[in-house]
Each structure stands twice: as structure tokens, then as C-alpha cells.
């Protein structure tokens, strides 16, 4: 059975995992949430510096947790795009060094393919064909997955990602970071129908997403209310905003299913943890008689197990062909 | 030598007008130029950058870089799109002015949202664009072109 060491440093977390087939023997994520809370978000320079400090201990922990060592893995996989260049380079350089030092092949992976491939992992692996809705702070993507090794983009955001829209709304409402959980908590006590928010739906039946009009609607609502009334109505504003974000995600998923032919859906990415989104997606898939795979939370946020999963179906590059490999911002 | 700054005011009725104003500015830009964008949430900073990127030959979606801080596009020239909002108040950019080097390159036209966070690395912008809400879809856009 092929054993893969996977490394992921495209954003705010330093991650490493050991994969054996569709099973993650270890999946280490050195969350930097505490560090980032200070700045209300991800700080790239801190991220690069922290990635550098954390990468070796995180890889050691993944190998140890996976009950193996570098000599006994068959290949090294790494995220090469998209992401912050400085952050990606830490993972790419490390992966190249480890692979070259042991003469092993290297498998470059696209981070988004990783999010899709998270659905291939145990427990209850999902096999293509399926439709994947990937929703996170950096991405909002509807993907048609017809084979393990590739995916086609059916729809994507034209401006802000859904998670980013939630972050910005949380900031406008004076709630914490990350915005998704903060908005969800506040929304629990609010009425989602109190502030009608626009749900962007293109007339052509397209599957692309747009959240910037929604953000502007909230800016105006908050401006009209003023600081005191905004604070009083915060739960209602959060509930209305969350309703509009989830409403658009589910409406586009419905449209994609209307095109027919799909028997399974995978829901992944950090925002897939949102309870309202899970509830609506579950209801929609039940109504259509379609299987819904809710990717487990530890495989939804950025992690290296999903990178290893994608790598199982990607082309390895033999030593020394990968020495010139570079990171790409997109 | 004091740089000459020319200021132009545009009243935009919507995103299309904002993109057109950006396209006009883009036609004057050269690789290595940096354009600063100021304005609050939802004033159209990313819309402006999208208009400029389109004019510079970028065909793929130009989306918000808030989460990742930076994006690069290949058009007729390379284009960097930065959003430094998450750096605000951290003092990190002052600590390490080289942190944006991957994006502020001689071959690229760079657009920087929330530039205050890295003022030291952005001392000689080609232009500064300020956007403000003016009711509904309308925006007040001020473009300052800074002389050489």
C-alpha cells in the first residue's frame, strides 16, 4: 500500500499528514488561531515565519503519529498553489528537500483539488461522480467531480468568498474573528427575516456566486441604524446576513442539481461547519434523493490529509525532475 | 524636487462606470507602478481593480484578495492585487518592509487596498484612488496622479 507524506502551508496553518490509501494515519494541523486573533485575521509575514518555525516539528509529529519515518514513505506531496507565495514556498522547499534527500518522488497538488479530495477519505469515502460545494474564507466553488484526478469548475465567486463575507459582516457588527462562528452564535437569537438582504442570482441560470452586494447592503443597514441601534439589532442583522449567504449557496447547489445527473454531493471547506448550511443542504439532498457527504470538520479546514488524498490520484515527479518546482500564487 | 499631483473627480453611477474609470487609469500605467486604493467596506475597491485588470488583459475572475492578502494575475503585464486590511495595526509591515516583495515586483502593476498598513514599503505610488459611498450604487471616486 502506497504511503504518502503530505505537506500544506498555503495559508495560516502549518499542516502535515501521513496517508495510506484512503486512510489518514495522522493529520497534524498546527493551528495559529491564537496568534492570528491578535490581528483579526491571517498575517502573511507572521504566517511565513511561523510556518518556518513549525514545519519540522509538525512533520515529525505527523510521521510519528503515523507510525512511520521518512525512509518508509513512498512519496512526498505538497500544496504548490494557490496561496500566499511566501507561505507556499516554506512547504514547497521543505518537501523538495525531504524528497531529494531520500531520492523519493514528489507530487505537486492544487489546494482546491485537496478540498475536493477530502471527500475521498475515510470514513465513508465518496467516489466520483459527485458535485462538490467547497466554501471557505478564501474560496467558494461548485465543482463537478467526474474522476479522482481532476475536477471542473461549474461555479465560483466573482468577488468575495462566502467565508470572507461572513468575516467582514462580523467585523461590521463588532463580533469576533473568525466571522462564521461569531455570526452563527449571534444569529441564533435573531430573526432572519428582519432585514431583507439581496441574494445574487444571475438571470442566465449561471452557477457563479457573488457576495459583495450583500456586504454593501449590510454596510448601508448599519449606517442607517447608527451605532446604538446596530448593537440593539445585532442578532437580527447577523441572522439576516447568514440567511442570505446560506440562501445563495443552497440556491446555486439546487440549480446545479437541476441540471441533472448527480447522485451525490460533497460539502466541504471551513464554512461547511455552519449549522444552517448543513441543515439546508441536508434538506435539499433529501428532497432530491441524493447522497450528501458532509466532510468531517478536521478535513474541512485546511489540512494535509486532503492534500495527500489528492496526491494519490496525481502524477508523481521522479527525482530530480522537481528541483526546479516553484510555488504559484494562483 | 516636489512631485506634481493632478486630481480628478468622477461620480460613478454603478460598477460599470467604476470599471471604466479604472480602465482609463490602467492605460497610463507601466510595469513597476503601484496604485493605492482607499475607501471603506463596499465602496468598490476590488471593482476598480477588476476594471483595471480587464483593461490590462486579464480575463479570469478578479476576486477579493482579503483572505490571502495577495493575488497575482497574468495579463498583458503581470498584475499584483494586495489587500493589507489584516495587517492594519500590527506594525508588521514596518518591522519587515520586504514582506511584500513577492508582489511589488518591477514586472508588475500593483494595486494595493488598505495601503496604510505598509506605508514604508509604498512611498512612491503612481496614483492614489479614493472611493466613497454616495447613496445606493453611486460612488464618488477621486484619482490622484502623482508626478515622477
Query: How far away is chain B from the Cα of A269, in angstroms, using its nearest Cα?
Result: 14
* Least CB–CB distance from B86: residue in A41, A83, A159: A41
Per-residue pLDDT, A49: 76
B39-62 pLDDT per residue, tens: 999 999 999 999 999 999 999 999
The interface predicted TM-score of the complex, written ipTM, equals 0.87
Instruction: Give residue A35's pLDDT.
Output: 45
Q: pLDDT value at position B90?
A: 60
* Nearest chain B Cα distance for residue A329, angstroms: 6
Going from the N-terminus, what domains does chain A have, and what CATH number goes with each? 3-118+302-311 (3.30.420.40), 127-295 (3.30.420.40)
Q: Which residue of B has its CA nearest to A45?
A: B99
Cis peptide before A13 (omega within 30 of 0): no
What is the predicted pLDDT for the residue at B91? 59
| A130 Cα to chain B: minimum distance (Å) | 24
Residue A86: list chain B partners with CB under 8 A: 99, 102
For residue range A230-268, list pLDDT tens digits in order: 999 999 999 999 999 999 999 999 999 999 889 999 999
Instruction: Return the residue of A nearest to B88 by Cα.
Output: A39
Question: Is the confidence at residue A329, as pLDDT, over 50?
Answer: yes
Q: Would you state the pLDDT for residue B69?
A: 83
Domain B5-146 is classified in which CATH homologous superfamily? P-loop containing nucleotide triphosphate hydrolases (3.40.50.300)
Give pLDDT tens digits for A200-228.
Answer: 776 667 999 999 999 999 999 999 999 99
* Mean pLDDT on A95-107: 97
Q: Enter the C-alpha cell of residue A295.
A: 466532510
User: What's residue A153's pLDDT?
Assistant: 96
pLDDT tens figures, A254-263: 999 999 889 9
Cα dihedral B131/B29/A327/A125 (nearest 10): 50
pLDDT for residue A268: 96
Share of chain A above pLDDT 90, in %: 79
Chain A residues whose CB is inside 8 A of the B47 CB are: 159, 212
A-chain residues within 8 Å CB-CB of B93? 45
B42 and A164 within 8 Å at the Cβ level: the answer is: no
Please give the C-alpha separations between residue A44 and each of A115, A140, A149, in angstroms, as whole numbers: 21, 21, 30
pLDDT top residue among A85 and B73: B73
Cross-chain Cβ contact A11/B68 below 8 Å: yes
C-alpha cell at A194: 428582519
DSSP conformation class of A72:
G
Segments in A157-262 forming alpha helices (H): 162-172, 179-187, 212-232, 234-258
Q: What percent of chain A has pLDDT over 70?
A: 93
Q: What pLDDT score does A34 carry? A: 45
Residue-averaged pLDDT of chain A = 91
Domain ranges of chain B: 5-146
Tens-digit pLDDT profile for residues A31-55: 744 444 444 444 544 567 778 888 9
- A302 with A168: CB under 8 angstroms? no
* CA-based nearest residue in chain B for residue A40: B86
What's the gap in Å between the CA of B66 and the closest CA on chain A?
7
Amino acid at each position: 500500500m502506497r504511503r504518502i507524506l503530505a505537506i500544506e502551508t498555503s495559508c495560516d496553518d502549518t499542516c502535515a499528514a501521513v496517508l495510506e490509501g484512503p486512510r489518514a494515519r495522522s493529520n497534524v494541523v498546527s493551528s495559529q488561531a491564537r496568534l492570528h486573533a491578535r490581528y483579526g485575521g491571517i498575517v502573511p509575514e507572521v504566517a511565513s515565519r511561523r510556518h518556518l518555525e513549525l514545519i519540522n516539528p509538525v512533520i515529525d509529529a505527523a510521521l510519528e503519529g503515523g507510525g512511520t519515518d521518512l525512509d518508509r514513505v513512498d512519496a512526498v506531496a505538497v500544496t504548490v498553489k494557490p496561496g500566499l507565495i511566501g507561505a507556499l514556498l516554506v512547504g514547497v522547499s521543505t518537501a523538495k528537500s525531504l524528497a531529494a534527500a531520500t531520492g523519493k518522488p514528489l507530487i505537486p497538488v492544487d489546494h482546491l483539488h485537496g478540498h475536493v479530495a477530502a471527500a475521498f477519505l475515510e470514513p465513508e469515502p465518496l467516489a466520483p461522480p459527485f458535485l462538490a460545494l467547497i466554501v471557505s474564507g478564501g474560496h467558494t466553488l461548485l465543482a463537478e467531480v467526474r474522476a479522482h484526478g481532476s475536477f471542473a469548475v461549474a461555479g465560483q465567486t466573482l468577488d468575495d468568498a462566502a467565508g470572507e463575507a461572513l468575516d467582514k459582516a462580523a467585523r461590521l457588527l463588532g463580533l469576533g474573528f473568525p466571522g462564521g462562528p461569531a455570526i452563527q452564535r449571534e444569529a441564533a437569537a435573531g430573526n432572519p427575516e428582519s432585514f431583507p438582504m439581496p441574494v445574487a442570482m444571475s438571470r442566465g441560470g449561471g452557477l457563479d456566486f457573488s457576495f459583495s452586494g450583500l456586504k454593501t447592503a449590510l454596510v448601508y443597514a448599519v449606517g442607517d441604524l447608527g451605532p446604538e441601534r446596530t448593537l440593539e439589532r445585532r442578532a437580527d442583522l447577523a441572522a439576516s446576513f447568514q440567511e442570505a449567504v446560506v440562501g445563495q449557496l443552497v440556491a446555486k447547489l439546487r440549480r446545479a442539481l437541476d441540471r441533472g445527473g448527480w447522485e451525490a454531493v460533497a460539502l466541504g471547506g471551513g464554512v461547511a461547519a455552519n449549522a444552517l448550511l448543513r441543515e439546508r443542504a441536508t434538506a435539499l439532498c433529501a428532497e432530491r434523493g441524493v447522497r450528501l457527504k458532509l466532510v468531517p470538520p478536521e478535513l474541512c479546514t485546511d489540512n494535509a490529509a486532503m492534500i495527500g488524498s489528492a496526491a494519490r490520484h496525481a502524477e508523481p515527479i521522479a527525482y530530480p525532475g522537481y528541483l526546479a518546482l516553484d510555488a504559484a500564487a494562483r | 524636487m516636489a512631485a506634481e499631483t493632478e486630481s480628478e473627480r468622477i461620480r460613478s453611477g454603478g460598477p460599470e462606470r467604476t470599471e471604466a474609470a479604472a480602465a482609463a487609469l490602467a492605460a497610463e500605467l507601466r510595469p513597476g507602478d503601484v496604485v493605492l486604493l482607499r475607501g471603506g467596506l463596499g465602496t468598490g475597491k476590488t471593482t476598480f481593480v477588476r476594471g483595471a485588470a480587464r483593461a490590462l488583459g486579464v480575463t479570469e475572475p478578479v476576486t477579493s484578495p482579503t483572505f490571502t492578502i495577495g493575488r497575482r494575475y497574468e495579463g498583458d503585464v503581470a498584475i499584483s492585487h494586495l489587500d493589507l486590511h489584516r495587517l492594519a495595526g500590527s506594525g508588521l509591515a514596518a518591522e519587515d518592509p520586504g514582506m511584500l516583495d513577492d508582489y511589488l515586483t518591477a514586472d508588475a502593476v500593483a494595486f494595493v487596498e488598505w495601503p496604510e498598513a505598509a506605508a514604508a514599503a509604498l512611498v512612491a505610488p503612481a496614483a492614489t484612488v479614493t472611493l466613497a459611498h454616495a447613496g445606493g450604487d453611486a460612488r464618488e471616486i477621486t484619482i490622484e496622479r502623482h508626478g515622477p
